[in-house]
Chains A and B, each alone.
Chain A
Amino acid sequence: MSAAFVREQTLPPRAAPFAATGAKAWVMQRLFATPRDIAMTVIGFAAFVLIAMPLIRFLFLDAVWRGENRDACAHVLTGACWPFVAAKFNQFIYGFYPLDQLWRPNIVFALGAVLLVPLAIPSAPLKRLNALLFFVVYPVVSFVLLTGGNLNPEHFILGYVIRLEDHVDFVWHGMRAAFWLDYAFSSLALSLAVALIGRVFGTPISTALKVMVGFFALLALLIAPTDADFGLSWVETREWGGLLVTLVVAVTGIVAALPIGILLALGRRSEMRLVRWASVAFIEFWRGVPLITVLFFATYMLPLFLPGGANIERLVRALIGVALFSGAYMAEVVRGGLAAVPKGQYESAAALGLGYWQTMLLIILPQALTNVIPGIVNNFIGLFKDTTLVQIVAILDLLGQIRSAFSDPNWASPTTLYTGFAFAGAIYFAFCFAMSRYSLFLERRAGASQLRMETNRT
């Protein structure tokens, strides 16, 4: 026989051999396949009984469900006192927001959900409009609804020099002509000044003017609603609290963190030395300081340094602190993503004649950000939990509100404390778990494109 071999028949593909299916096979394979599996199963089951059973007893079996005050719970030592949560529910969610105005935060909650859900579903249509509504319109609407708006700003820029209000006292729906004349003249003057400076560097005057005037017109569109009088009563942020404050702080931080982080990360890789150093200094400063210190500083020290700072709301100051803090952390995550984009991507973008911002926005960032989705969401989750630190500057978020309710003698019972913490834990867990799952979903969706990048690199 010769050593050569020539196949005469090609083989058709066969189905892969599958092990037995069914519930019993599943149990045997997953739980009791080897002695080690059996041991792990037993240990796991024991742990479940030891930990989960008392929890279930506390939360459900032994829990008190009905009652008007502490008497209902006073005798129960091993069960949750749910009537406490029910009685304080409004406080936990809204803080001391006026009861007859609760429809306002309710609209804000509902609108947020209505806009966020389609934004989060990749296949939902009108993404651009949706994003515009969520990131630009929604914050303004929420601000007006929650505070009441009708800010009546005094001056813009020129107004500090020329006191227009002494001469013009026309008011239209809460918007004072004096301010808006000031705004119009100031922005025109600023635009002209910028255009003239730009001309020195070779930008045509008409282009610069168009850009600047457009910018101020858009800014006016954002300011006007906060100035107008919609007949809403003014609710001071001191009266806000509970989940409302938690969400305001967290959402502001999350929405601000990404753009700030991207700009800082790009700055850190910039070829302009000044930009690079400034970014590094900024990032390292905020990363080197605990959030508690930031909040303390923003609340108690800043007014001492800034004469104008004294007027800024306490909550606003905390929000700015949280946004800058989380932005600095986000910058480092984004930087990791940028570093993972191969050099060839920059080169082929440059070879096609794309400029810096075009390259970054169209080519590099989409890849860099999908690379680091887990890191980004991780940051969001951390930030969400860190919002509880605002208690340190006497802002009562969800946890703060719950803790303050413990001191109510009306509800002093053996398990009030545990019940409150269980409730807080459940809410924080729900939000963080949802974010975590959503990140997994995004990652899996990006999995295909990840694979695309790998193969492209070989």
Chain B
Amino acid sequence: MSDLASVQGASAVEMSGVNKWFGSFHVLRDIDLTVKRGERIVICGPSGSGKSTLIRCINRLEEHQEGRIIVDGVELTSDLRSIDAIRADVGMVFQQFNLFPHLTILENCTLAQIWVRRRPKAQAEEIAMKYLTRVRIPEQANKYPAQLSGGQQQRVAIARALCMNPKIMLFDEPTSALDPEMIKEVLDTIRGLAEDGMTMLIVTHEMSFARQVADRIIFMDEGQIIEINRPEEFFAHPKHERTKRFLSQILD
């Protein structure tokens, strides 16, 4: 995976002048953002500021109405085939895990490999076991999601996304639904990915994690990007008034 970082050239994600409305509610306003390959971006901001909507636009779980989004050199249009291709290349991890409850852990990890990547079952299982080992739960392969703790489920969700060999990973508050003692195991897993050079966009409120992992931190409010900065600067010398207020609230 580390070779991904070395493939320089086109950026992983390019958003320019992106606007989106839910009905009459202007949820994303003039978003301009370029993410380089191998870059780790952390997005933070108050609830309802549009963080989820922003990253969900990148794999088209939400459709933007104005502006351009280019993912891995392919522009997102309403052409269905390009959307499925991009989705297969962009992994996503949700706050609620969203594992498939009627399938075992192993089947959760092989299903999309078999049906989207068209891999033979044996190969898919081998790859699934590789990533389950990587997130340190290979022994749970034949259990069902409900038999696992929240932290384990979230690690399965990460492994499931990795099985598709994504070029970009999106995380939407991956630890917000977890009990405190499980947050660390999930963050450690994501940290491991970061060290391997995966391109990542992470929405999170875990500020110490953000400080360690992020190349850049984005602060959003009311559908706009208010500030983008390197972590040291972001925490030590926030530029914008709203960033200061947000940080003072969240860091106490």
B71 within 8 A of A: no
Contact of B61 (CB < 8 Å), options: A351, A363, A456: A351
Contact of A352 (CB < 8 Å), options: B88, B97, B102, B145: B88
> Chain A 437-458, CB within 8 Å of chain B: the 1/0 string?
0000000000011011111110
Contacts of A355 in B (CB 8 A): 84
Given contacts A348-B98, A351-B92, A352-B87, contact A452 B112 (CB under 8 A): no
Question: Is B111 a contact partner of A345 (Cβ separation < 8 A)?
Answer: no
Residue of B90, B112, B157 with highest tally of chain A CB at under 10 A: B112
Question: Is B164 a contact partner of A353 (Cβ separation < 8 A)?
Answer: yes
Residue of A nearest to B100 (CB): A363
Question: Is A347 a contact partner of B146 (Cβ separation < 8 A)?
Answer: no
Residue of A nearest to B61 (CB): A347
Residue of A nearest to B164 (CB): A352
Given contacts A345-B98, A353-B116, A367-B102, contact A362 B111 (CB under 8 A): yes
Given contacts A353-B84, A353-B164, A355-B84, contact A452 B116 (CB under 8 A): no
A150 within 8 A of B: no
Given contacts A352-B164, A354-B115, A358-B115, contact A452 B146 (CB under 8 A): yes
B209 within 8 A of A: no
> Chain A 98-127, CB within 8 Å of chain B: the 1/0 string?
000000000000000000000000000000
**Bound state CA distance, A456 and B146, in angstroms?**
6
Question: Is B116 a contact partner of A370 (Cβ separation < 8 A)?
Answer: no
Contacts of A350 in B (CB 8 A): 59, 61, 87
Question: Is B145 a contact partner of A452 (Cβ separation < 8 A)?
Answer: yes
> Chain A 361-396, CB within 8 Å of chain B: the 1/0 string?
011001100100000000000000000000000000
Contacts of A363 in B (CB 8 A): 100
Docked complex: A170-189 residues within 8 A CB-CB of B: none
Distance (Å) between the CB of B33 and the closest chain A CB?
Answer: 20
A231 within 8 A of B: no
Residue of B nearest to A455 (CB): B146
Contacts of B59 in A (CB 8 A): 350-351
**Bound state CA distance, A358 and B88, in angstroms?**
14
A344 within 8 A of B: yes
Given contacts A353-B85, A362-B115, contact A456 B102 (CB under 8 A): no
Distance (Å) between the CB of A385 and the closest chain B CB?
Answer: 32
Contact of A456 (CB < 8 Å), options: B89, B101, B160: B101
B99 within 8 A of A: yes
Contacts of B147 in A (CB 8 A): 452
Contacts of A347 in B (CB 8 A): 61, 94, 98
B16 within 8 A of A: no
B38 within 8 A of A: no
Residue of A nearest to B60 (CB): A350
Docked complex: B77-120 residues within 8 A CB-CB of A: 84-85, 87-92, 94, 96-102, 111-112, 115-116
Contacts of A362 in B (CB 8 A): 111, 115
Residue of A nearest to B115 (CB): A358
Residue of A348, A370, A452 with highest tally of chain B CB at under 10 A: A348
B246 within 8 A of A: no
Question: Is B98 a contact partner of A344 (Cβ separation < 8 A)?
Answer: yes
Contacts of A353 in B (CB 8 A): 84-85, 87-89, 112, 116, 164
Contact of B144 (CB < 8 Å), options: A348, A358, A370, A452: A452
Docked complex: A322-363 residues within 8 A CB-CB of B: 342, 344-345, 347-355, 358, 362-363
Distance (Å) between the CB of A448 and the closest chain B CB?
Answer: 8
Contacts of A351 in B (CB 8 A): 59, 61, 87, 90-92, 94, 161
Contacts of B116 in A (CB 8 A): 352-354, 358
Contacts of A452 in B (CB 8 A): 101-102, 144-147
Residue of A345, A448, A452 with highest tally of chain B CB at under 10 A: A452
Given contacts A352-B116, A352-B160, contact A345 B92 (CB under 8 A): no
Contacts of B153 in A (CB 8 A): 456
**Bound state CA distance, A453 and B102, in angstroms?**
8
Contact of A367 (CB < 8 Å), options: B85, B90, B101, B144: B101
**Bound state CA distance, A354 and B87, in angstroms?**
8
> Chain A 405-423, CB within 8 Å of chain B: the 1/0 string?
0000000000000000000
Docked complex: B142-185 residues within 8 A CB-CB of A: 144-147, 153, 157, 160-161, 164
Residue of A nearest to B153 (CB): A456
Contacts of B97 in A (CB 8 A): 456
Distance (Å) between the CB of B111 and the closest chain A CB?
Answer: 6
**Bound state CA distance, A406 and B223, in angstroms?**
79
Distance (Å) between the CB of B128 and the closest chain A CB?
Answer: 13
> Chain B 171-211, CB within 8 Å of chain A: the 1/0 string?
00000000000000000000000000000000000000000
Distance (Å) between the CB of A141 and the closest chain B CB?
Answer: 33
Contact of B102 (CB < 8 Å), options: A342, A348, A370: A370
Question: Is B111 a contact partner of A449 (Cβ separation < 8 A)?
Answer: no
Contacts of B157 in A (CB 8 A): 348
Distance (Å) between the CB of A102 and the closest chain B CB?
Answer: 45
Residue of A nearest to B85 (CB): A353
Contacts of A344 in B (CB 8 A): 94, 96, 98
Distance (Å) between the CB of A445 and the closest chain B CB?
Answer: 12
Contacts of B100 in A (CB 8 A): 345, 348-349, 363
Contact of B145 (CB < 8 Å), options: A342, A366, A367, A456: A456
Distance (Å) between the CB of B124 and the closest chain A CB?
Answer: 13
Contacts of B92 in A (CB 8 A): 348, 351
The 5 A-B residue pairs with the shortest CB-CB distance in the complex, in nearest-first order: A353-B88, A452-B146, A348-B98, A352-B112, A344-B98
B residues sitting closer than 8 Å to A (CB atoms) are 59, 61, 84-85, 87-92, 94, 96-102, 111-112, 115-116, 144-147, 153, 157, 160-161, 164
25 CB < 8 A contacts A-B: A347-B61, A347-B98, A348-B100, A351-B90, A351-B161, A352-B87, A352-B88, A352-B160, A352-B161, A353-B87, A354-B112, A354-B115, A358-B116, A449-B144, A451-B146, A452-B147, A453-B102, A454-B146, A455-B145, A456-B96, A456-B98, A456-B99, A456-B145, A456-B153, A457-B96
A residues sitting closer than 8 Å to B (CB atoms) are 342, 344-345, 347-355, 358, 362-363, 366-367, 370, 448-449, 451-457
**16 extra interchain contacts, Cβ-Cβ under 8 A, other than A352-B111, A453-B101?**
A345-B98, A347-B61, A348-B98, A348-B99, A351-B91, A352-B112, A352-B161, A354-B111, A358-B115, A362-B111, A363-B100, A448-B144, A452-B146, A454-B146, A456-B98, A456-B153
